[in-house]
Structure 1
Amino acid sequence: GLIVVEAGAALLAHQGREVTNRDLCRFAVLGWATELLQACMLMADDIMDGSVTRRGQPCWYSREGVGTVAINDFLMIEMYVYKVLKRHFGQDPFLPWLIDLFQETTFQTECGQLLDSICEKVADEELTLSRWTLLAKYKTAFYSAYMPVALAMLATGIHDREAFDAARKVLILMGLYFQAQDDVLDAFASPDVLGKIGTDIVTRKCSWVFAHAHELASEDQKRLLFSHYGKCAVGSEGELAVKELYSQLKLQEVFSLYEEETMGRLQELRQEIEKAGLPWFIFEAFIAKIKGRSR
Structure 2
Amino acid sequence: MNIVFYYEYSLTACGPLNARAAEVCRKGALIRTEEGGYGCIQPWPELGDHSLQKELDALRKGNPLPLGKRALECARVDGEARAAGVSLFSGLHIPASHATLPSCVSPATIRIMETKGFKAGKIKASSNPAAALERLTMLASMVPSWRWRLDFNGSLDGNEALQFWKSLPHHLKSRIDFIEDPCPFSVPGWERLVDAGMPLALDMGTDTEHQPAVTADLPVTRIVKPAREATPGDLHDPPVFTTVMDHPVGQLWAVYQAAEYYRDALPTEIPLCGLCTHLLFEPDPFIDQMGGMNPQVAVPAGTGLGFDGMLEALPWKKL
The TM-score with structure 1 as length reference comes to 0.25
Name the larger-Rg structure: 1
Determine which structure has the larger helix proportion and give its number.
Answer: 1
